[in-house]
Amino acid sequence: MALLGEFGLIKHLTQNFKLNHQSSIKGIGDDAAVLNFEDKQVLVSTDLMLEGIHFDLAYTPLMHLGYKAVQVNLSDIYAMNGTATQITVSLGLSSKFPLEAVEELYKGIELACNKFNIDLIGGDTSSSKQGLVISITSIGYADKEDICYRNGAGENDLLCVSGDLGGAYVGLQILEREKLIFLENPNIQPDLEGKDYIIERQLKPEGRRDIIDLLSQMELKPTAMIDVSDGLASEILHICDQSELGCTIYEDKLPIDPMTYETARELGLDPTVCALNGGEDYELLFTIKQADYDKLKHDVDITVIGHMTDKNSGAKMISKSNIVHELKAQGWNAFKL
Ligand code: ADP
Ligand code: MG
C-alpha cells in the first residue's frame, strides 16, 4: 500500500465507480464534490464505525463490512422518506491492513452502491494507529412535503414496523459464541448451520428502500418515521418524545422470525427482549393515520404493533399475559461498553 501512496490508493480503489445521478455534477478528484438538487430538499446523514466498538473483524468479512457500512447509512435517508443518491467514504487504516483487505472492503461498498444506485463522490483516507475506522456520509433528497420527521405522529395513529425484529442481535450472539469456542480451540470449525438468516441479518443488513417505494405506490405518507438501529423500544421512545405522545404496543404483535425465536430460546434469551432491545435490524418504524390502515392491511411485510396515545399515558407494552409494562430504552449503545 505504501508503494501506491494515498492518491494511487484512492484511484485504485475507486476506478470502477461511475456517477449515475444527474445531481452528481463532480465526484472524486477535486477539493469538494459538486451536487445539484434543484428544487428538492437535501438530506445528509453520517455514521462512524470503529473496529472493536461497532464491528469485530474476527467474524466480519471485510466485503460484508463495506456493504453494511453503506446500508446503515442509506437506512437513515430512507427513514426520512427520501431517495439516497450519493455517499462519501472516509477511512482510517492501520498499517497491518494489506491492500487486498481494503480492496475487499471496497468490493462491498461497490456492491451496495450498484444495488441501491448510489454514487461514490468522495471521502478521506488516513492511517490509523489502532484499528479500522470507517465513516460514511450519505446524501439524498426528497420533496419538502414528503419528508417524514420523528415529531409528526398524532394521537391514535397506528404504529407500524417493516420486516422482523431481533434477528441481527441473535445472529450476533451466535457469532460471539462461535468466536469464543474458536479462541479456546482453534481446531473447532464454527457451527453456523441452520442460522443463515440471522447471521445474514447481522452481517449483511439491507436498508428498506423497498418499503419507501411501496409506501409511495400506496400513496401513503407516514406521519412520523425512524429506522430501527438501536432497538425497537428506543426508536419508539424517540417518536413518542419528539411527537409529545405516549403509545401502547402489544407483545403478541411483534414480528419475530421463527429462526430468531428458536435461537433466542436456545441461548436462554427472551425473544421479546431481543426484538425490543436488540438493535441493528435496520427496519423502518413509522406511524400512519387510522384512515390509511386499509392501504397496507394486506401487506405481509408491514406489521401494525400498536398505536399512539396521549403523552400522560406513557409508553406501554401489553404482554401476552395481559400485563402492562413500561417501555424502556435499553438499546445497544456504544457508550455503555
Ligand atoms: P484533500 O487533500 O483535498 O483532502 P484527498 O487527497 O484527501 O484530498 O482526496 C482526493 C480526492 O479523493 C477527493 O476528491 C476525495 O474526496 C477523494 N477521496 C479521498 N479518500 C477517499 C476514499 N477513501 N474513498 C473515496 N474517495 C476518496
Ligand atoms: Mg483528504
10: enclosing H helix or E strand: helix 5-14
d(CA 318, CA 303) in angstroms, rounded, equals 16
Question: pTM for the complete prediction?
Answer: 0.95
Q: Report residues near ion ligand 2: CB below 5 Å.
A: 124
227: enclosing H helix or E strand: strand 224-227
> In this structure, are residues 83 and 142 in contact, taking their beta carbons and an 8 Å threshold?
yes
* Tens digit of each residue's pLDDT (9 = 90 or more) over 168-215: 999 999 999 999 998 988 888 888 888 999 999 999 999 999 999 999
Q: Band of the pLDDT at 6, cuts 50, 70, 90?
A: confident
* Tens digit of each residue's pLDDT (9 = 90 or more) over 108-157: 999 999 999 999 999 999 999 989 999 999 999 999 999 999 999 999 99
Distance 123 CA to ligand 1 centre (A): 5
d(CA 276, CA 174) in angstroms, rounded, equals 18
Q: Band of the pLDDT at 334, cuts 50, 70, 90?
A: very low
Closest CA to 64 of 24, 31, 106: 106
* Tens digit of each residue's pLDDT (9 = 90 or more) over 80-112: 999 999 999 999 999 888 999 999 999 999 999
In this predicted structure, what is the pLDDT of residue 1? 66
Q: CB under 8 Å to 212, separation ≥6 — which residues?
A: 78, 81, 82, 83, 284
Distance 199 CA to ligand 1 centre (A): 33
Mutation test residue for ligand 1: of 17, 86, 124, 136, the one with most atoms within 8 Å of CB: 124
Pocket of ligand 1 contains residue 32 by CB under 6 Å: no
Q: What average pLDDT score do residues 282-289 get?
A: 98
Atom of ligand 1 nearest to the CA of 124: 20
Helix, strand and coil content of the chain, in percent to the nearest 5, comes to 40, 25, 40
**Which ligand has an atom closest to residue 89 CA?**
1
> In this structure, are residues 276 and 327 in contact, taking their beta carbons and an 8 Å threshold?
yes
Pocket of ligand 1 contains residue 29 by CB under 6 Å: yes
Pocket of ligand 1 contains residue 66 by CB under 6 Å: no
Kindly report the number of other CB atoms within 10 A of residue 228's CB atom. Answer: 28
In this predicted structure, what is the pLDDT of residue 331? 54
